Amino acid sequence: MSNYEKQTDEADKYSLRGRVFDKLREDIISGVYKDKEELKEVAIGQELGVSRTPVREALRQLELEGLVTIIPNKGAYVTGITDKDIEDIFAIRSHLEGLCAAWACDNATKEQVDALEENVYLANFHADKEHFDQVVELDNKFHKLLYESCGSRILAKVLIEYHLYARRVRTVNLSEKERAKHSIGEHEKIVSAIKAKNKEEAERNAYEHIAQSILRMKNADK
């Protein structure tokens, strides 16, 4: 086997392991797999159409992230995400999102600001029509656009990870018209501040948006 073939083979293995990891993490975070549920390598491999090896490697990676506990000679079990974990993630994310918005004031291009404004317009439209699936999709896109606008690949990568773990909060907050409109209104304030290159206001608005998100979820759960 040539060096190129070896490199291609290794890349394929990594890509396969990565896809299995992403699918399992998504299913754990979204609640497809419940806390303490056993993750069986053979069953997962059959479901995803892969051998046990990439499943085993993905489970080890999930253990490093704290989402899975592997007990020798027994198996792998879901650790899950607690309410405390969610609160911690949002507390950290609120500060990082504020920093992201402040940096976007210096680094966002006109095209990126235009895309953010268009996103807010479309989100309001779909919220008024109570198309909540589209609202959730646009919320995901808004934050991705914001992260890309900050000019820092490192900060964007960290925030994308935190945003993934906030799935439950988004589902609650964006599945009812009044809460969705509040969230979109906060997005609009963030974009306005970035467009005006007002760093302090952009940082404050982004921080408060994340802080309010967790409060809306708590109130909805009561």
Q: What is the pLDDT of residues 101-158, one digit of tens each?
A: 999 999 999 999 999 999 999 999 999 999 999 999 999 999 999 999 999 999 999 9
Residue pointed to by tokens 């906030």? 166
Residues 110 and 203 grouped into a single domain: yes
pTM for the model: 0.77
Helix (H) or strand (E) holding 78: strand 75-78
Other CB atoms within 10 Å distance of the CB of residue 103: 20
Q: How many domains does the chain have?
A: 2
**Other Cβ atoms closer than 10 A to 196:** 11
Please give the structure tokens belonging to residue 162: 């935190």
Which SS3 state, helix, strand or coil, does residue 216 take?
A: helix
State the pLDDT confidence band at 170, using cuts at 50, 70 and 90.
Answer: low
Residue where a domain stops, chosen among 78, 108, 124: 78
- Model confidence pLDDT, tens digit, residues 53-84: 999 999 999 999 888 999 998 999 998 777 78
Which domain covers residue 63, as residue numbers?
A: 3-78
Last residue of a domain, one of 78, 98, 114: 78
91 and 69 part of one domain: no
CATH at 131? 1.20.120.530
The neighbouring-strand residues paired with 78 are 68
Can you give the pLDDT at residue 163? 86
Q: Do residues 35 and 98 both lie within one domain?
A: no
Q: Are residues 68 and 142 in the same domain?
A: no
Same domain (yes/no): 21, 116: no
User: Do residue 61 and residue 131 come from a single domain?
Assistant: no
101 and 62 housed in the same domain? no
Report the alpha-carbon distance of residue 39 to residue 60 in Å, rounded.
12
Mean residue pLDDT across the chain:
87
Residues 6+ apart with CB under 8 A from 2: none
Amino acid at 130: E
Residue 159 near residue 100 (C-beta atoms within 8 A): yes
Burial of residue 66 (number of CB atoms within 10 Å: 0-12, 13-18, 19+) = exposed
Question: Over 90: is that where the pLDDT of 89 sits?
Answer: no
**Alpha-carbon gap, residue 36 to 80, rounded angstroms:** 8
